[in-house]
């Protein structure tokens, strides 16, 4: 079974631009979570989607948004990029059978550099 895939793997943007990152979960997984990883702040939760609905959101400004499609694929968008948005963006998927604390499986991440 294929793992979580993320595209693109690397991205360079300039301040003020916007960016869209894509995540395809493991087949059959219905929940997708996004995380931002930086040297200074560590791993921080952005949001989680299930059945095309955002169920949970971290403490990030409104410039960060996401969505999930009917096939469980997810995208996240960052508008008006700032230098501080440079980070590794990780996507994770889980089966979501209704029980708590299901294991999340991560993709390889997208490395975003904002110049």
Partner 1 sequence: AQKITQTQPGMFVQEKEAVTLDCTYDTSDPSYGLFWYKQPSSGEMIFLIYQGSYDQQNATEGRYSLNFQKARKSANLVISTSQLGDSAMYFCAIEGTDSWGKLQFGAGTQVVVTP
Given the complex with partner 1, which of 19 and 90 has the nearer CB atom?
A: 90
**Rounded CA gap, 104 and 80, in Å?**
29
For the window 14-33, what string marks contact with partner 1 as x by the rule CB under 8 A?
A: -----------------xxx
What's phi and psi for 106, nearest 5 deg?
A: -95, 155
Is the CB of residue 14 less than 8 Å from the CB of residue 33? no
**Rounded CA gap, 65 and 47, in Å?**
8
Residue 65 found at the interface with partner 1 (CB under 8 A): no
Smallest gap from Cβ 31 to partner 1, in A, equals 5
**Rounded CA gap, 115 and 96, in Å?**
38
Residue 95 found at the interface with partner 1 (CB under 8 A): no
Give the position of tokens 């993709």. 107
Residue 64 found at the interface with partner 1 (CB under 8 A): no
Smallest gap from Cβ 108 to partner 1, in A, equals 5
Binding site for partner 1 (CB under 8 A): 31-33, 35, 42-43, 45, 48, 50, 55-56, 58, 88, 90, 92, 94, 100-101, 103-109, 111
């Amino acid at each position: 079974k294929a793992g979580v895939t993320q595209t693109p793997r690397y991205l360079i943007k300039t301040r003020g631009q916007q960016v869209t990152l894509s995540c395809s979960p493991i087949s059959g997984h219905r929940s997708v979570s996004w995380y931002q990883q930086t040297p200074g702040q560590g791993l921080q939760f952005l949001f989680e989607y299930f059945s095309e609905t955002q169920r949970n959101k971290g403490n990030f400004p409104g410039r960060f948004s996401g969505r999930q499609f009917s096939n469980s694929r997810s995208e996240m968008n960052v508008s008006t990029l700032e230098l501080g948005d440079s980070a590794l963006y990780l996507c994770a998927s889980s089966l979501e059978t209704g029980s708590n604390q299901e294991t999340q499986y991560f993709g390889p991440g997208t490395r975003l550099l904002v110049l």
